[in-house]
Structures are given as C-alpha cells and as structure tokens.
C-alpha cells in the first residue's frame, strides 16, 4: 500500500502547474523549466496518510472555477473540501477570505501538515491556496492539471508565495474520526 503512495506522489510531483485563472504570459519564462523531483520517504507517507488518501480520491479531478465536486474543483474549493471532510471545519469559500481565518506563518520552515499555503498575483492579491504536506510540498487544484502535489520551492510557486496559515482553532492537525 505504501508503494502505491510513493509511486503516486512521485508521479504527481513531476507535474508543475499554475492555478491562477490566467496562463503565464508567453514573454515570461515558464515555471515548468525548473522542475524539482520529490522523492518521499516512508515516514513522510505515513505522517500524511489521511491527506494522501484524500488526495488519491481527488487525483485526476479537473480544475473548474467555482467548482466543489470531483467533476471539477478550483483551488479554494479543494481546500474548503479538505478542511470540511478531514477536519470537520467549514472555511470561507474564497481563497482571499481564507486568510482571515488563520494565524499567519511567515517562515516556510515553520509550516506543518494541514496548514494552508497562500499565493499572490502580481497585484499582491491572494489568488491561490493549497494544503501543506511536508518538506515544502503542498496539494492543490491547478488550472492546467487539476488536483496535484507541487513544491513551494518550484520557481513559479516560490515567486508567488505569500505566507502560510494555521487555523485559529486548536487541534487542527488531528483528522476527524469517522462516525
């Protein structure tokens, strides 16, 4: 079973994308050129087991602006669903509103599993969110490839990274129990 997660994570990490509603301009270098290959270890897989299982259920879901289902989901819709389904917490629906529900984490090194990562456009507006896994990796829904895992150290994400956020609610890193 762990081998499946390893292979899935490795394949997904090879795909680099942007989730903003617009494609990068052709006169800018593509963020796909500086791809980072991520090789998860068994400890990483085990610690993120619930998130990986959830990710596996959504893998292949296409991006759809305003979407909330496996027929199509946008970045904030995916984060909204993760928090509702795994943690039992209802977040604001829009990425720009989610930032008001978190305690800001400025250092990438202080991020923990389940934290929300925020990205901004050139006008400094929050326009993308994802869920932090570990080792600079996050799960998100991108406009070009749907639900995937990326690294915040990839050139594109590094340039657009704004901050991390941890919910003001205690116990957020605990996965809710099935009824």
Which residue in the list 11, 19, 31, 140 is annotated as catalytic? 140
Q: State yes or no: is 128 an active-site residue.
A: yes
Q: Is residue 36 part of a domain?
A: no
Q: State yes or no: is 31 an active-site residue.
A: no
The average confidence (pLDDT) of the chain is 77
Give tens-digit pLDDT for 138-178. Answer: 999 999 999 999 999 999 999 999 999 998 865 444 545 44
Q: Is residue 112 part of a domain?
A: yes
Q: Is residue 27 part of a domain?
A: no
State the total domains in the chain: 1
What three-state secondary structure class fits 84?
helix
Q: Is residue 177 part of a domain?
A: no
Q: Greatest CA span in the chain, whole angstroms?
A: 52
What three-state secondary structure class fits 151?
strand
Q: Is residue 113 part of a domain?
A: yes
Question: Of 9 and 15, which is predicted with more confidence?
Answer: 9
Q: pTM, whole model, 2 decimals?
A: 0.71
Which residue in the list 19, 31, 75, 160 is annotated as catalytic? 75
**87 confidence band (pLDDT: 50, 70, 90):** confident
CATH number at residue 123: 3.90.1720.10
Among candidate residues 103, 129, 126, 127, the one with its CA nearest the CA of residue 116: 129
Give tens-digit pLDDT for 114-138. Answer: 999 999 988 889 999 999 998 999 9
Q: Which of 4-13, 28-37, 58-67 has the lowest mean pLDDT?
A: 28-37
Q: Is residue 102 part of a domain?
A: yes
For residue 154, give its domain range: 2-20+43-167
Which residue in the list 11, 19, 31, 128 is annotated as catalytic? 128
Q: Is residue 151 part of a domain?
A: yes
Dist CA 18 CA 42 (whole Å): 28
């Amino acid at each position: 079973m762990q081998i499946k997660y390893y292979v899935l994570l490795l394949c997904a990490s090879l795909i680099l994308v942007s989730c903003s509603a617009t494609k990068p301009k052709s006169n800018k270098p593509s963020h796909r050129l500086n791809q980072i290959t991520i090789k998860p270890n068994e400890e990483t897989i085990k610690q993120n087991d619930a998130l990986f299982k959830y990710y596996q259920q959504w893998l292949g879901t296409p991006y759809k602006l305003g979407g909330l289902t496996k027929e199509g989901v946008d970045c904030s819709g995916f984060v909204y669903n993760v928090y509702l389904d795994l943690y039992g917490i209802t977040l604001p629906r829009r990425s720009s509103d989610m930032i008001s529900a978190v305690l800001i984490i400025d250092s990438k090194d202080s991020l923990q599993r389940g934290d929300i990562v925020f990205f901004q456009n050139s006008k400094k507006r929050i326009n993308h969110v994802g869920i932090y896994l570990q080792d600079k990796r996050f799960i998100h829904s991108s406009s070009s490839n749907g639900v995937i895992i990326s690294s915040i150290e990839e050139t594109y994400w590094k340039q657009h990274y704004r901050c991390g956020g941890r919910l003001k609610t205690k116990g957020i890193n605990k996965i809710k129990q099935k009824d």
